[in-house]
Amino acid sequence: MTTIVKVGKAIAIDSRITENGIVLDDDFRKYAEDENNVYLFTGSMCNFEEMAELYSSNSMAEKPDLFIDTTMLAFNKQSGNVTQIRTDKNTKALKVSPVSCHTYCVGSGRKYAYGVVSYIQDSESSMTDESIAKMAIQSASKHDLYTCDNIKTWSAC
């Protein structure tokens, strides 16, 4: 699994790969980038680069069965806007929806991450959104086997 946290115009992802409760890698690149977007992935393993390229070229609907049970978040580097893309494993239908909320967490450590983000925001901290997102994943890594504290972050310009 994976933990991804969006706070404002920042996003963060951990780098742990697990299978059946076994940690396979703590330094796996679960994202792809192009000129405009960062694509972050959670769920079943797939060809992440191909999924990102198909989304970028608006041709993902042609091959939704390649990405069954995978969720991709497309983070726009300029605006900080996030779009969630996933394939329903029963219908194989592609579902695309904007993530319009200020705080959004997905993946195995999301409940821990939400708690940290809520606590920091309630304390009126002067931390940046990027720092809050990173701290949320760091905290999730202490409580969730499927999340690690090797974290990559981005913030919109």
How far, in Å, are 58, 96, 104, 127 from residue 134 at the CA level?
30, 25, 13, 11
Residues 8-31 have pLDDT tens digits of 999 999 999 988 888 999 999 999
Task: Kindly report, residue by residue over 36-75, the tens digit of the pLDDT.
Answer: 999 999 888 778 888 899 888 988 877 767 777 788 999 9
How far, CA to CA in Å, does 73 sit from each of 23, 34, 55, 77, 99?
A: 23, 13, 11, 12, 9
What domains sit in the chain, N to C, each tagged with a CATH number? 3-146 (3.60.20.10)
- Cα separation, 150 vs 108, in Å, equals 15
Average pLDDT over residues 137-156: 95
The tokens for 61 are: 């609907």
The burial of 140, by beta-carbon neighbours within 10 Å (0-12 exposed, 13-18 middle, 19 or more buried), is given as buried
Asked whether the predicted pLDDT for residue 99 surpasses 80, the reply is yes
Highest mean pLDDT among 69-73, 85-89, 124-128, 153-157: 153-157
Q: How far apart are CA 30 and CA 45, in angstroms?
A: 9
Q: Among 3-12, 86-95, 124-133, name the one with the lowest average pLDDT.
A: 86-95
User: 114: closest CA among 135, 85, 84, 145?
Assistant: 135
Mean pLDDT calculated for residue range 114-121: 92
Q: Give the pLDDT mean for 120-125.
A: 82
Residue 91 has pLDDT above 80, yes or no: no
Distances (CA, A) of 92 to 31, 86, 89: 22, 9, 5
Question: Rounded to an integer, what distance in angstroms lies between the CA atom of residue 108 and that of residue 97?
Answer: 20
